Each structure stands twice: as C-alpha cells, then as structure tokens.
Amino acid sequence: MERTETDSPAIDSQDLRCTVVVVNFNGSELLLRSLAAVLESTLPVEVILIDNASSDGSAKQAKSRFPQITLLENEHNRGFAVAANQGLRSARARTLLLLNPDCILQSDTLEKMLEVLRCYPEVGMAGCRILNPDGTEQRGCRRNLPTLGSGLRKAAGRQKSRKAVDLHLQPLPDQPQFVEAISGAFMLVTRQALHDVGFLDEDYFMHCEDLDWCRRFLDAGLKILFVPHVEVVHYRGTCSKATPVRVFWYLHRGMVRYYRKYLARENGLVITLLVIPAIYGRFLWLTLRRQLGRISGRA
C-alpha cells in the first residue's frame, strides 16, 4: 500500500521541463539538502519523493519543509526498483531524472543536461560526472557493462584497463562520450525511451538494477551518454550505512540475477556452476571480514 500527499498547486505540464524522482530510506538531513538543491533549479521541475518506510521521519520533514513536492509513502521497504517505478509512473514531464537522496545538484545541473540532450536525439539516457565529497570522481558514473572477463580483472585489481567495469581512472573526456552504463545515483531518461524500454526490473531489490536498465537501453538501440562538464556531489551510502550486511546481500543477489539474465547462456553451464557459488562466496568473505574488523576494532 502507498499513501500520496500533495497539497500545493501543480505546475502546468506545459511548463514542466523535468520530473525528479527520489527514493528515500532514512535519508536524514542529506535528503533535505538534496531536495532543496533540486528545487533551486533554474528550470521548472516536478519532484516526486517515494519513501520506503523510513524510521527517521525524513520524509515527513521533507514534505513539511517543501509542500510543493509529491510524497508517496510505502508501508514497508519495497526496494529501490519498485519505488523508483512508482515515481516514474506518476511523473508528468518529458524528461525524467532518477536521483539518489544523498546527491546534491547545482542550480543549473538540469538545464545543462537538457541542453546536451537536445544535441543528441539518439540518446535515451544520460549521466553526469559524479564526485565524492573530496572532489574525486566517484566509481560508477561512467562504466562498461560487466562481463565474466571484467569481473576477473576487477578481482585481480586491474582497474585501469579500458575494459574494466568502472572507467573513473581513465582520462576525463573533454566532450560528452557514449558509454555502456552510468550510475543509478543520477539517471536522466527521456519519456520516449522509457516507453520503448520499460521500467526498472523489480526483481532487483537494490543494486544492479541500474546496470540491467542500461543493458536494456542498449539492446533497444538507444545510446547512453556521459557528460563530463556537468558535476554533482554524491555522499555515497548514506541511506544504507545502518545495515551494511543486508546491503552486501542485496548487492550479491543482484549480481547473480544479472549474471543469470545476461551472461549465463554465453558462458555455458560449467562456468555458471562456478561463477554463482563464487559470487555468494564473495558475500560470505566480505561479511566475515567486516565482522572480524569490527571485533578487532572493539578490542
């Protein structure tokens, strides 16, 4: 079940340039900062906030401080993909942005991105350069789709290869560049592309649904664009820091789903029977290492 709150005059759909969809789970003060930045945009925006049963009161605070937003409240945590689709289905603008609640835009971010999109009619999805709070480029904002080979290179620490999944260590291009995938923290899509490709795969709870969506955009013949001269800051992990083991689990479960959906057939049964246990083994190893680290820290 979901409850919807909206009590302010709606922006005329003719004036709307972009709908910003934000999925929140205990976003705390950063959610308020993120929404404030979005609402300071230099073009008219519609903001839809979907709250996945937060316990910190952040959604109510957001609605109280920004009554012009639309708030959809879920009675339990339905995961990122389901909640994002709720917002996308309610959106009215022709351009739609999925934005993490710990991501801070500049006032002209959306205007710049829409200007770039007008120059690339073949593009269905676009992302910008996402920075860590220290100003370094964040891993994941420009990347290749994962393959078995890139996964092995990542495990071996070969992150500077052009065939690596994450391309943040590659030289920054001086012009917008076509890529295979961008980060789910900032995904700008056109309504026509959404119509052609469809919504996020709701069998992912959180993590890897963005890669899946990028894969489906490419399979539909649409381009994905990375725009290096537009930058936002992402305080990564704010909404998931309280439950790291659960986040690890959903990440690895998402990896398994992506592998089975796109890579298992080309790699064959024997390799698949090795890869899937290895993914779950990685989850167990990371969880154990984290717990041992916490015990050691307390000691």
CATH number at residue 71: 3.90.550.10
Write out residues in the chain with pLDDT < 70, as ranges: 1-15, 153-161, 237-243, 295-299
Distance CA 265, CA 172 (A): 34
Q: Output 218-221 pairs: Cβ under 8 A, ≥24 positions apart.
A: 218/145, 218/180, 220/124, 220/193, 220/196
- The pLDDT of residue 292: 77
Q: Give the range of the structural domain holding residue 41, as residue numbers without chain letter.
A: 2-234
Single-letter amino acid, residue 199: F
- Cα-trace Rg, the chain: 19
**Strand, helix or coil for residue 238:** coil
pLDDT (tens digit per residue) in 153-189 = 666 566 666 777 888 989 999 999 999 999 999 999 9
194 & 48 share domain: yes
Helix (H), strand (E) counts: the chain: 9, 10
C-alpha span between 70 and 22 (Å, rounded): 10
Residues 146 and 189 in one domain: yes
Q: Are residues 137 and 254 in the same domain?
A: no
The structural domain count of the chain equals 2
Which pLDDT score is estimated for 290? 79
Residues 158, 74, single domain; the answer is yes
**What does the alpha-carbon distance between residue 275 and residue 193 come to, in Å, rounded to a whole number?**
33
- Please tell me the predicted confidence (pLDDT) of residue 236: 82
pTM over 0.85: yes
183 and 35 in a common domain: yes
Each residue's pLDDT tens digit, 35-82: 999 999 999 999 999 999 999 999 999 999 999 999 999 999 999 999
Structure tokens at 26: 């205990």
Examine the fold and report which residue of 204, 234, 264 is the final residue of a domain before the chain moves on. 234
CB-based contact 183:232 (threshold 8 Å): no
- Please tell me the predicted confidence (pLDDT) of residue 239: 56
Q: Are strands 123-131 and 103-104 parallel, antiparallel or unpaired?
A: unpaired
Same domain for 51 and 117, yes or no, is yes
Cα 135 from Cα 168, distance rounded (Å):
13
Query: What are the angstrom distances between the C-alpha of 182 and each of 151, 188, 210, 216?
Result: 17, 10, 8, 13
214 and 171 within one domain: yes
Are both 200 and 257 inside the same structural domain? no
Q: How far apart are CA 231 and CA 244, in angstroms?
A: 27
